[in-house]
Amino acid sequence: MPHRELLDPQGKTVGNNLKNLEIHSVEDVRIGKFIELTLGAKSEEEAREKVEKACKKLLANLIMEQYEYELKEV
Amino acid sequence: MPHRELLDPQGKTVGNNLKNLEIHSVEDVRIGKFIELTLGAKSEEEAREKVEKACKKLLANLIMEQYEYELKEV
Protein backbone atom coordinates (compact mmCIF):
# COMPACT_ATOMS: atom_id res chain seq x y z
CA MET A 1 0.00 0.00 0.00
CA PRO A 2 1.16 3.57 -0.60
CA HIS A 3 2.29 5.28 2.61
CA ARG A 4 -0.44 7.26 4.39
CA GLU A 5 1.52 10.51 3.95
CA LEU A 6 1.64 10.19 0.16
CA LEU A 7 -1.00 11.18 -2.31
CA ASP A 8 -2.63 8.25 -4.08
CA PRO A 9 -3.88 9.74 -7.39
CA GLN A 10 -5.35 6.41 -8.55
CA GLY A 11 -7.34 6.14 -5.32
CA LYS A 12 -8.44 9.75 -5.64
CA THR A 13 -9.80 9.14 -9.14
CA VAL A 14 -11.66 6.03 -8.03
CA GLY A 15 -13.14 8.00 -5.11
CA ASN A 16 -14.46 10.65 -7.50
CA ASN A 17 -15.94 8.04 -9.79
CA LEU A 18 -17.76 6.35 -6.93
CA LYS A 19 -19.69 9.61 -6.44
CA ASN A 20 -20.84 9.43 -10.07
CA LEU A 21 -22.19 5.95 -9.33
CA GLU A 22 -24.28 7.38 -6.47
CA ILE A 23 -22.07 5.79 -3.85
CA HIS A 24 -21.75 8.57 -1.30
CA SER A 25 -19.91 9.19 1.99
CA VAL A 26 -16.69 7.75 0.64
CA GLU A 27 -13.97 9.39 2.72
CA ASP A 28 -10.84 7.80 1.33
CA VAL A 29 -9.69 5.26 -1.25
CA ARG A 30 -6.18 3.86 -1.31
CA ILE A 31 -5.02 1.34 -3.87
CA GLY A 32 -2.15 -1.08 -3.51
CA LYS A 33 -1.21 -4.52 -4.76
CA PHE A 34 -2.23 -7.92 -3.54
CA ILE A 35 0.30 -10.62 -4.36
CA GLU A 36 -0.23 -14.32 -3.87
CA LEU A 37 3.05 -16.23 -3.82
CA THR A 38 3.03 -20.02 -3.79
CA LEU A 39 6.43 -21.35 -2.79
CA GLY A 40 8.09 -24.40 -1.34
CA ALA A 41 9.96 -24.17 1.96
CA LYS A 42 11.09 -26.66 4.59
CA SER A 43 9.82 -24.61 7.50
CA GLU A 44 7.76 -21.56 8.37
CA GLU A 45 11.04 -19.82 9.18
CA GLU A 46 12.41 -20.47 5.70
CA ALA A 47 9.15 -19.34 4.07
CA ARG A 48 9.24 -16.12 6.09
CA GLU A 49 12.84 -15.43 5.04
CA LYS A 50 12.00 -15.96 1.38
CA VAL A 51 8.94 -13.73 1.53
CA GLU A 52 10.80 -10.96 3.39
CA LYS A 53 13.58 -11.05 0.81
CA ALA A 54 11.11 -11.02 -2.08
CA CYS A 55 9.25 -8.05 -0.59
CA LYS A 56 12.37 -6.01 0.16
CA LYS A 57 14.22 -6.74 -3.06
CA LEU A 58 11.48 -6.86 -5.66
CA LEU A 59 7.84 -6.63 -4.68
CA ALA A 60 7.60 -3.44 -2.66
CA ASN A 61 9.01 -0.02 -3.38
CA LEU A 62 9.93 0.83 0.20
CA ILE A 63 10.25 4.53 -0.51
CA MET A 64 6.60 4.82 -1.45
CA GLU A 65 4.97 1.70 -0.12
CA GLN A 66 4.61 -0.37 3.00
CA TYR A 67 3.91 -4.07 2.98
CA GLU A 68 2.52 -6.76 5.18
CA TYR A 69 2.09 -10.45 4.61
CA GLU A 70 0.51 -13.55 6.00
CA LEU A 71 1.87 -17.08 5.68
CA LYS A 72 -0.55 -19.91 5.02
CA GLU A 73 0.24 -23.57 4.62
CA VAL A 74 -1.34 -25.17 1.54
CA MET B 1 -7.35 -11.22 -8.30
CA PRO B 2 -7.22 -12.60 -11.83
CA HIS B 3 -9.24 -15.80 -12.23
CA ARG B 4 -7.25 -19.01 -11.70
CA GLU B 5 -7.92 -20.12 -15.28
CA LEU B 6 -6.38 -16.99 -16.79
CA LEU B 7 -2.73 -16.32 -17.46
CA ASP B 8 -1.24 -13.61 -15.26
CA PRO B 9 1.70 -12.25 -17.29
CA GLN B 10 2.67 -9.75 -14.59
CA GLY B 11 2.83 -12.55 -12.01
CA LYS B 12 4.80 -14.72 -14.43
CA THR B 13 7.41 -11.99 -14.89
CA VAL B 14 7.74 -11.46 -11.15
CA GLY B 15 8.15 -15.22 -10.70
CA ASN B 16 11.02 -15.28 -13.19
CA ASN B 17 12.70 -12.33 -11.53
CA LEU B 18 12.54 -13.98 -8.11
CA LYS B 19 14.75 -16.74 -9.51
CA ASN B 20 17.36 -14.15 -10.47
CA LEU B 21 17.33 -12.98 -6.84
CA GLU B 22 18.15 -16.52 -5.70
CA ILE B 23 14.67 -17.05 -4.33
CA HIS B 24 13.90 -20.58 -5.47
CA SER B 25 10.98 -23.04 -5.31
CA VAL B 26 8.48 -20.36 -6.29
CA GLU B 27 5.62 -22.26 -7.86
CA ASP B 28 3.18 -19.50 -8.69
CA VAL B 29 2.76 -15.74 -8.43
CA ARG B 30 -0.54 -13.99 -9.00
CA ILE B 31 -1.00 -10.27 -8.74
CA GLY B 32 -4.19 -8.41 -8.04
CA LYS B 33 -5.26 -5.19 -6.40
CA PHE B 34 -5.76 -4.34 -2.76
CA ILE B 35 -8.20 -1.50 -2.23
CA GLU B 36 -8.89 0.20 1.09
CA LEU B 37 -12.18 2.07 1.07
CA THR B 38 -13.09 4.30 4.01
CA LEU B 39 -16.78 5.15 3.91
CA GLY B 40 -19.61 6.25 6.12
CA ALA B 41 -22.67 4.02 6.58
CA LYS B 42 -25.45 3.77 9.15
CA SER B 43 -25.20 0.01 9.48
CA GLU B 44 -23.10 -2.95 8.46
CA GLU B 45 -25.84 -3.80 5.99
CA GLU B 46 -25.57 -0.42 4.31
CA ALA B 47 -21.77 -0.63 4.20
CA ARG B 48 -21.97 -4.06 2.59
CA GLU B 49 -24.41 -2.80 -0.07
CA LYS B 50 -22.14 0.11 -0.92
CA VAL B 51 -19.04 -2.05 -1.16
CA GLU B 52 -20.81 -4.67 -3.29
CA LYS B 53 -22.04 -1.97 -5.66
CA ALA B 54 -18.59 -0.38 -5.85
CA CYS B 55 -16.95 -3.74 -6.61
CA LYS B 56 -19.48 -4.75 -9.26
CA LYS B 57 -19.76 -1.39 -11.00
CA LEU B 58 -16.25 -0.01 -10.81
CA LEU B 59 -13.53 -1.77 -8.88
CA ALA B 60 -13.49 -5.28 -10.32
CA ASN B 61 -13.51 -6.41 -13.92
CA LEU B 62 -15.75 -9.43 -13.39
CA ILE B 63 -14.79 -11.01 -16.70
CA MET B 64 -11.17 -11.35 -15.67
CA GLU B 65 -11.16 -10.92 -11.92
CA GLN B 66 -12.77 -12.19 -8.77
CA TYR B 67 -13.06 -10.13 -5.61
CA GLU B 68 -13.54 -10.58 -1.94
CA TYR B 69 -13.82 -8.06 0.86
CA GLU B 70 -13.86 -7.66 4.57
CA LEU B 71 -15.73 -4.99 6.52
CA LYS B 72 -14.06 -3.40 9.50
CA GLU B 73 -15.44 -0.71 11.78
CA VAL B 74 -13.06 2.19 12.36
Contact across the interface for A29 and B37, Cβ inside 8 Å: yes
CB proximity under 8 Å: A 8-47 to B: 11, 14, 17-18, 21, 23, 25-41
CA of A24 vs chain B CAs: smallest distance (Å): 8
Contact B23, A40 (CB under 8 A): no
Q: Where are the domains of chain B?
A: 1-32, 34-74
Residues of chain B with pLDDT under 70: none
For position A54, what pLDDT does the model report? 97
Distances from the Cα of A67 to the Cαs of A62, B25, B42, B64, in angstroms?
8, 22, 31, 25
Q: What is the pTM of this model?
A: 0.89
Interface confidence: ipTM more than 0.90: no
C-alpha triplet A17, B72, B59: angle, nearest 5°: 25
Tally of residues, chain B: 74
At position B26, the amino acid (one-letter code) is V
